[in-house]
Chain A
């Protein structure tokens, strides 16, 4: 049973470019959350998707957007990349019934030059 998978593993972009990160949730999970983790910091919540809708959003600008597909997989898009967007981007999936543990992928390491 595959866990949460994220792609790509690493990515290098330049300022002003756009990037798309992808996440496939654990089998049986219908909710996907995205987090940004800067070096030496705890993860920060970006947003959560359920039933193809953004259910909750953290304190991130509109440059950060997402999508969830009917098969529950999800994408995170970031436009107009800034140097400060360099971070590890983590995807977590869970079942939406009550408060369930979130299962994390290994993350995508995004570096902005």
Chain B
């Protein structure tokens, strides 16, 4: 079993829909990261959080430490949101990131 599990693996939505991507982890962590990867490879860090909730524009990330679960929400989705969204965790003195496999999001106009 992977230390970081994401669901769904693939997600197709219509423009304007509310989107949720889930992440569960099985190890102790200091922080959870949500990242976005576009075709061609570049990765952009969206959020780093250790508790509660963060919001940036149409993106919202939440984390429940007790349940070892995080969600990434996209409100009013747009075709430009189409990308792979990746959940990763870092923990304690362990500075490395452990990644999930990613969720491929396609938003159709």
Q: Kindly state the separation between the CA atoms of A104 and B86 in the bound complex, as whole angstroms.
A: 13
Q: Number of B interface residues, CB 8 Å?
A: 25
Q: Kindly state the separation between the CA atoms of A58 and B96 in the bound complex, as whole angstroms.
A: 9
Q: Kindly state the separation between the CA atoms of A37 and B100 in the bound complex, as whole angstroms.
A: 11
Contact B42 A104 (CB under 8 A): yes
The stretch that binds B, out of A41-49, A62-70, A73-81, is: A41-49
Q: Kindly state the separation between the CA atoms of A107 and B4 in the bound complex, as whole angstroms.
A: 22
Q: How far is the CB of A34 from chain B (nearest CB, A)?
A: 10
A42 touching B95 in the complex, CB below 8 Å, given contacts A90-B43, A99-B31, A104-B43: no
Contacts of A40 in B (CB 8 A): 101
In the complex, how many residue pairs between chain A and chain B have their CB atoms under 8 Å apart? 64
Interface of chain B: mostly helix, strand, loop or mixed: strand
Q: Kindly state the separation between the CA atoms of A103 and B43 in the bound complex, as whole angstroms.
A: 8
Contact A31 B95 (CB under 8 A): yes
Contacts of B96 in A (CB 8 A): 33, 45, 48, 56, 58
Contacts of A37 in B (CB 8 A): 41
Q: How far is the CB of B109 from chain A (nearest CB, A)?
A: 26
Chain B residues packing against A (C-beta within 8 Å): 4, 30-31, 33, 35, 40-45, 48, 50, 86, 88, 90, 94-102
Q: Can you show 30 pairs from A to B with CB atoms below 8 A apart? A: A33-B95, A33-B96, A37-B41, A42-B4, A42-B99, A42-B102, A43-B43, A43-B86, A44-B99, A45-B98, A55-B95, A88-B41, A90-B41, A92-B43, A94-B95, A96-B95, A99-B30, A99-B31, A99-B48, A99-B50, A101-B33, A101-B48, A102-B33, A102-B45, A104-B35, A104-B43, A104-B44, A107-B41, A107-B42, A109-B41
